[in-house]
Structure 1
Amino acid sequence: MSAPAAGPRPAAPAARRRTLRTVTVLASCLALVAAAVVLGVRALGQEPTVTLLANWTGRDARYFREAVIEPFERRYRVHVDYQGSSAESQVLSAEVEAGTPPDVVVLTGPGELAAYAGQKRLRPLEQLIPRGDFSRSWATPLYGHVYWFPLKADLKSIVWYPAGTGEQQRRKAARQPDQWCLGMGSGATSGWPGTDWIEDILLQQQGPETYERWARGRLSWRSGEVKRAWTTWRKTVGAGGRRDLVLRALTTEYQKASELVTADPPRCTLEHQASFVRNQKPWRKADGRYEPSAPFIPGAKARNTWEVSGDLVALLHDTPQAGKLIRHLASAGAQRAWSEKESGFSVDARVGPPAAGSAADWHRSLAGTLIDHDAVHCFDASDAMPPPVRDAFAQAAIDYLADASPRHLDELLRNLDALSSPGDLTWLPSVCDSGS
């Protein structure tokens, strides 16, 4: 056999074990040192962090991080500790109660933010955001300050239908409750698709002045105007009627309601839903088109009047890094980047609708409506109401869908009136823009 190649002799097993132990101990020490350095740097403020709570999860959270958070982190060398939750209201309430609220929060409800402002939990923003870039319905002054502004907006007074569905076919479908796609489920916030319907019906039938009085707690739930909106919704979607339709609506998540549009054969034709639903797979597949909701609502008389909603940014801890994040989120660049990445829109006066050819026609049209100075925009009434009233309204919509008898409706509205009357509730000073 050949002689072994020249070179050092292999280490004995015991020597190899001692070497491995030495390497392992050294690696562990280095890891501890590295961790200590990271903690030390953060403790010394050399890697500042800002905490942010919002409702975006999954794909939306990824888009938000890519379009908005990562550019901020690169520019300012500030780490954003992002927490996304579909139950953000409950999470925020628990964290505030525990004394560990986030620095910045994004909520859909100005009514909820108004309650926190009344508790002196929020910090004024007028020194951090440009003046005049957001109208009063989006950045509503309260107690002499501005406490929130919109990062993302949506239009709600619209009805979606598949491409190729003619006007006569749409009007016929609107008179058939089984042709309306409706899903009331939304986890802890179930029922809001029903409140959207009732709010929009009241707005289109009675106009913005009546709508605003009601949304600000100055019009009884048992008034003829409000009661008419509830009964119109009952007739339109078949509340309290066919058990199969009611059960379908009560057991369907709002995100899945439009799946019936692309069923074979289709099981519904129309959906009264906000602009964000166009990004759902069924409406993309059906090449969804929209028109204003007013032609579908019996007795509608309002003109160029729209219900809107938004994701609103507020500040709880006024730290230097939180201030930088607020300025970034209010900047035209961040507003534009998020609206281009996500299904929502910016209502920042500096951003404007997408240029021709850069977005689909429906997207540009919706964006233009949201910033149309001749239009009246009224914020989602339930989102603007104090949280106890908002939550009871959503539950009442579910209960009325199951039992739409006149006696039951009177009971539900009487209960809502009672919940709306305590003097310690915070109501917004306005929810509608006047238009020009």
Structure 2
Amino acid sequence: MTPTSSARRRRTMLKAGAGASVAALLLAACADTDSGDGGGGGGQAAERGSYEIDCSKYDEFGDLDGTTVHVYTTIVEPEGTAHQASYEPFTECTGVQIEYEASREQEAQLPVRVRAGNPPDIAIVNQPGLLETLVRQDDAVLPAPAQVEAEVDENFSAEWKEYGTVDGTFYAAPYDANVKSFVWYSPSAFSDAGYEVPETWDELISLSEQIASAGDVKPWCVGVESGAATGWPGTDWIEDVVLRTAGPDVYDQWYQHEIPFNDPQIVEAWDTAGEILKNEDFVNAGLGGVDSIATTAWDGAGYGILDNTCWMHRAANFYQAQWPEGTEVAEDGDVWAFYLPAETTDERPTLVAGPFIAAFTDRPEVQAFQTYLASADWANAKAVATPEGGWVSANQGLDPENLATDFDRLVYETLTDEATVARYDASDLMPSQVGSGTFFTGIVNWLTGQSTQQVLDQIENTWPTS
């Protein structure tokens, strides 16, 4: 039932039985009295499959029953179901209905809607570069309220807060998080062929050459098609290689444009990536030649690993959710992933990313929902609402036992490991006309015939002058 202002529930619990589908999630209210542990977030997670949140922190926003918050995101089905399920505890607490709108074209359409005076209440913005554009050029995103900032200060490292800050003002809390430096493969296929997981970049190239020389199946399958965002998976490849060949300091200079986009060190990184991506002997397993990468949908590009038409597919942790139903993701299962190696085993550069929560209105129900999404409560509720796995957060209040899979826990350990040298996705930090514009199209042009220097010169010429 929907809670009323006179009898708002003090606690609500999200439950998912072992092996249950998201559709079978059960929301069950606990006692209609305070538990005496105050208004702090975090709740309890006594077992995998349930998470209890505290509703009292939303009392300060007043009577919200019957109000609606419109959320606009790129997170479409099937992943969208779990996100909507994770919002249900907030609705149970407050009576606020969440209107969920998802579109693969959101990144292109959001600025159009903002400029037309028709923004959503909240947008899950994938690129800090787009956030920066919406703040500086459109003056549309509202600074985060104090309650949201307090949640972020408690639950996230300073670096993650900085990514949601523009010109010294904090606007947007982190949503979820990804680790992109993974290569998916079949453990059994590797074992049967006598292949070992490579630990350096040279070993990775040597393995690719060994597979290619066998002549049966090309080593790599790759796809960068993604509707209006076509090209983005290729930018991940480039960013990972820049981290490995030029290093984190040069990487920072590159995305901040302290060195030009076409700096020789960046040219070298693209050419190094091209040793795989533009090598007809290495790609595109079961899908075509090099140019087929541009037209192969990113979300199904790795499926050849399952039918032995492909050996390796570089993709982020969230690709776990893209495997067909019934695929076992485990070290001894159908698929697993290894760290994309650096030049030496002593290095651990890691590409990370994640969206941010931008608000365009400041009604109390919107601010309350922002606060929920920045809390450990939401991170744990979302983990429970994702029984198939493929989702992680950088929220330090997340109990890893609530994560669905061993792979998710591995990703969380990577995110929180002090040895990891993490850098946020550069295309997401660049101005949006480059990061989600000419960088994307440049990848397609490069894969379909243009030279590295041509592409990088063209992208450099589009960098905004102010």
TM-score by length of 1: 0.79
> Which residue of structure 2 aligns with residue 403 of structure 1?
449
Note if 1:368 corresponds to 2:410.
no
**Residue 57 in 1 paired to residue 76 in 2?**
yes
Equivalence map 1:94-173=2 (5 Å)? 94-118=112-136, 119-125=138-144, 127-129=146-148, 130=151, 131-140=153-162, 141-164=165-188, 165-166=190-191, 168-170=195-197, 171=204, 172-173=206-207
Give the letter aligned to residue 292 of structure 1: Y
Instruction: Please say if residues 204 and 300 of structure 1, whose CA atoms lie closer than 8 Å, have aligned partners that are also in contact.
Output: no
Verify the 8 A CA contact 1:52 1:102 in the aligned structure 2.
yes
Greater Cα shift, 283-292 or 394-403: 283-292
Classify the secondary structure of the residue corresponding to 1:122. Answer: coil
Query: In the aligned structure 1, how far is the partner of 2:225 from the partner of 2:401?
Result: 33
Task: Report the counterpart of residue 335 of structure 2 in structure 1.
Answer: 288
What is the CA–CA distance in structure 2 between the aligned matches of 1:316 and 1:373, rounded to whole Å? 35
Tell me, in whole angstroms, the C-alpha distance in 1 between the residues paired with 2:155 and 2:313: 32
**By how many angstroms is 1:228 displaced?**
0.7
What pairs with 1:26-425 in structure 2 (closer than 5 Å)? Answer: 47-67=66-86, 69-118=87-136, 119-125=138-144, 127-129=146-148, 130=151, 131-140=153-162, 141-164=165-188, 165-166=190-191, 168-170=195-197, 171=204, 172-175=206-209, 178-239=218-279, 244-263=288-307, 266-282=308-324, 284-285=327-328, 287-295=334-342, 299=343, 303-342=347-386, 343-354=390-401, 359-390=404-435, 391-403=437-449, 408-423=451-466
Does the CA contact (< 8 Å) of 1:156 and 1:306 recur in 2?
yes
Following superposition, the deviation at residue 239 of structure 1 comes to 5.0
Preserved CA contact (<8 Å) 1:139 1:147: no
Offset of 1:300 from its aligned partner? Answer: 5.8
Q: Percent identity?
A: 25
Unaligned runs of 5+ in 1: 1-43, 424-436
Shift of 1:370: 0.9
| Residues 326-366 of structure 1, C-alpha deviations (whole Å, 9 max, x = no match) | 011111111112134342211111114337xx643322111
Aligned-partner Cα distance in 1 for 2:157–2:80: 27
**1:4 match:** none
1:57–1:341 distance in 2 versus 1, CA, 3 Å: same
Q: Could you state the TM-score of these two structures normalised by the residue count of structure 2?
A: 0.74
For 2:55, the equivalent position in structure 1 comes to none
Q: CA deviation at 1:319?
A: 1.0
- For residues 241-296 of structure 1, give each alpha carbon's deviation from its aligned partner in whole angstroms, at most 9, with x where no partner exists: 88932143222100111111122xx121111110011222259356322221125x
User: 1:393, 1:416 within 8 Å by CA — same for their partners in 2?
Assistant: yes
- Aligned AA (1:125): A
Name the CA distance, whole Å, in 1 between partners of 2:344 and 2:268.
12
Say if 1:57 and 1:360 are closer, same or farther in 2 by CA, change over 3 A: closer
Deviations 1:95-117 (A, max 9, x none): 11221101111011011001112
Contact 2:123/2:359 (8 A) holds in 1? yes
- Deviation, 1:45, is 8.2
SS in 1 for 2:355: strand
Give the Cα–Cα distance (whole angstroms) in 1 for the partners of residues 65 and 234 of structure 2: 49
Asked if the contact 1:174–1:270 (Cα under 8 Å) also holds between the matched residues in 2, the reply is no
C-alpha change, 1:224 and 1:70, in structure 2 (3 Å) is same
Verify the 8 A CA contact 1:137 1:378 in the aligned structure 2.
Answer: no
Check the 8 A contact 1:104/1:313 in 2, yes or no: yes
- Tell me if the contact between 1:183 and 1:193 (Cα under 8 Å) persists in the aligned partners: yes
Q: Deviations over 1:376-435 (max 9, x none)?
A: 22111111111111210111111111215xxx3222211111112511xxxxxxxxxxxx
SS at match of 1:86: coil
Partner deviation per Cα, 1:132-180 (whole Å, 9 max, x = no partner)? 4222432223222211122211100111111232483554543367311
Alpha-carbon distance change, 371 to 352 in structure 1, aligned in 2, over 3 angstroms: farther
Tell me by how many angstroms 1:232 deviates: 0.8
Structure index of larger Rg: 1
Secondary structure of the 2:249 match is helix
Residue type of the alignment partner of 1:174? S
Could you say which structure has the higher helix fraction? Answer: 1
Residues 352 and 45 of structure 1: is their aligned pair in 2 closer, same or farther, counting only changes over 3 Å?
closer
Aligned equivalents of 1:339, 1:308: Cα separation in 2:
19
Q: CA RMSD in A?
A: 2.4
Give the SS at the match of 1:306. strand
